[in-house]
Structure 1
Amino acid sequence: MRPAPSPFLAIGLLTDVGRQRMGGANQDAAIAAELPQGGLYAVADGMGGHAAGELASRLALETLASTYCQGRGSPPNRLIEAVQAANLAVLQHAVGESVGMGTTLIALVIDRGAALFAHVGDSRAYLLRGGELLRLTEDHSWVAEQIRLGVLTEEEARNHQWRSVVSNALGGEERARLELFGLGLKAGDRLLLCSDGLSGVVDEKDLLRLLSLKDTPQAVTRLLVDAANDRGGPDNITALVVDIVRAVPAPRYALPEPLDGPEYADILLSTRRGSSLLTYLLLSLVYFTLLGVMLIPERSGLIALLGLTLMVLTVLGERYLQRRRLEKRMGGTVSRLPWTRRL
């Protein structure tokens, strides 16, 4: 699917087979689709042999796009549901010669002034803002876990024989595990989605240099792919660049905050529905407080104080319950880690 125009976005997308897989299939796939108030963008890197890997990535993105565009509800919930549908599509086609196939996924929904990300595997998302490059995702891979434990350095991981071994992918089990998070956008932001065929060979200093160029997004994707090929092009390479041309208002819903690692799709949906219930309860308290003030004006101060107290207790209670649920799933006390890395 080719990039689609948008009044406040500029898009560039390029995928390449690489230098060492010339003549072979490209297991990477990417989409850039226009939405009424933004766009849907995604990169997938298939696994399981040439034919199976190519099928997995293509099938995942086709299902992701169709499910999201046909879905209802808030964009974060639709994105979770679309990732789960993509996971099942890959799993159901993993038969015969395609047994064991899977794919990574990094998906981005731009909804007005917000960016929503869904992340599975070791394809990455970066943000260039104010001259700084931030890595928005942490790889779901064996070497990434060794880096977090202090066993390997970044350089050792880049050249490790198991650098391509992912710990999470679509098609691995019936319930998709993903990271979901969102951030507000600013005019001048530049976002990069890429497969490890780019991030695995082009170091982040060069990514910063190339992304900082004032060229169009399409020109920058060519420079990124060329840089990966100049370093041997050992894998398929995909780069998708999104520029925020001008600022637009943010959506009204709360943006999802990152957890310390991937979570099952059904649990994420359950948590978000709990947040929707909290919003409903707070609106109800506001309504009845205002109604009480109007009906019993001589007690307006007391009613307003009571209503405010109930609202505060409701929010604190919900936050406490969410933390307890998260601690139970994580097996202990939750300590939130920084979710971006300055490069």
Structure 2
Amino acid sequence: MAIAYRTDPGSKRHDNEDYVGSFVNKVGRTMVIVADGVTSNEGGEVASAMTVEHFGHAWESNDLETIVPTIAWLKKQAKIENDAIIKAGQRFQELSQMATTVVLAVLFDEKVVIANLGDSKAFLLHNNQLTQLSNDHILKNEIVRRGAMASADASNMVHANSVTRFLGVDEHADMEISQHDFVADDILFLTSDGITKVLDYKTIKQIMRYEEPLDIKVFDMIQQANEKGAPDNVTAVLVTHEKD
């Protein structure tokens, strides 16, 4: 397994509320995770750092090696972390509304489990086709998925892109979890929403297909996003089965 990641404030911001990490549990299963502090809420950088570090250290201390118990663990851990963020906010008034999105992947032999809250994203490049594995939890998408409105109408709503699920603020932490094939030559890509605001799928796929080590691909992803005027923090994680 080869993993590379990098985070950057972006070309328009000085602070970075993204946080990223990679962790291995007691039986050698790897988790990669990206959290993006909700910018409109004070303390987003605290919430994102808490989420990655707490999820990561909890993962390192377990011995899960199969998918079903891992999914149950993720649901339980999301609740634990949500409670921790809320309690931290109750202790410090300036952090009372802090929140973060999160997307993570747990790697198995030829499968990957994806879990997310919010609009941080997971993609898979398979047979030269780039597919988003996660669902963006934003207002327009949630309304369309419930069948309450057509996509075009929902896109014209006020606050159509407002994040509807995250860790923090309220007691509901409805993490969406799915499993997918992850086989030889596939490339997994996790990111906050900053990169996809400025780079289209064609460009992202082109970078992922470079004949370069993963860390160079990640660097180029960040660099090209910044050259395009990335208005938000930018974070990229790439994972393959091959060793760099």
TM, length-normalised to structure 2: 0.86
User: Which one has the bigger helix percentage?
Assistant: 1
Q: Aligned in 2, Cα 1:171/1:67: closer, same or farther, shift over 3 Å?
A: same
Shift of 1:31: 0.6
Residue in structure 1 matched with residue 75 of structure 2 by the alignment: 80
Which segments of 5 or more consecutive residues in structure 2 lack a partner in the other structure? none
Question: Cα gap change, 1:234/1:227 in structure 2, threshold over 3 Å: closer, same or farther?
Answer: same
Q: Could you say if the C-alpha distance between residues 114 and 37 of structure 1 is closer, same or farther in structure 2, counting changes exceeding 3 Å?
A: farther
Determine whether 1:13 maps to 2:5.
Answer: yes
Aligned AA (1:15): T
Aligned-residue sequence identity (percent) comes to: 27
Bigger relative contact order, structure 1 or 2, given CA contacts below 8 A and separation 6+?
A: 2
Residue 65 in 1 paired to residue 61 in 2?
A: no
What do residues 23-64 of structure 1 show as CA deviations (whole Å, max 9, x unaligned)? xx2100001123333311000000256860110000011111
Q: Secondary structure at the match of 1:29?
A: strand
Within-5 A mapping of 1:307-326: none
Q: Which has the larger radius of gyration?
A: 1
Would you say the 8 A contact 1:63–1:89 is kept in 2? no
Match of 1:94 among 79, 89, 92: 89
TM normalised by structure 1 equals 0.62
Structure in which a larger fraction of residues adopt strand: 2
Q: Report how far residue 69 of structure 1 moved.
A: 2.9
Aligned partner of residue 26 in structure 1, secondary structure: coil
Q: 1:106 aligns with which of 103, 116, 120?
A: 103
Q: What is aligned with 1:34?
A: 24
| CA distance in structure 1 between the aligned counterparts of 2:38 and 2:207, rounded to whole angstroms | 28
Which of 228, 236, 241 lines up with 2:238 in the alignment? 241
Match of 2:222 in 1: 225
Gap runs ≥5 in structure 1: 1-8, 247-343
Q: Structure 1's 55 and 193: CA in aligned 2 closer, same or farther, altered over 3 A?
A: same
Residue type matched to 1:37 in 2? G
Match for residue 259 of structure 1?
none
Please provide the CA RMSD for this pair: 2.5
Once the two structures are superposed, the pairs formed by residues 1-343 of structure 1 within 5 Å of their partners are: 9-22=1-14, 25-35=15-25, 36-47=27-38, 52-71=43-62, 74-95=69-90, 96-145=93-142, 149-152=149-152, 162=159, 165-245=162-242
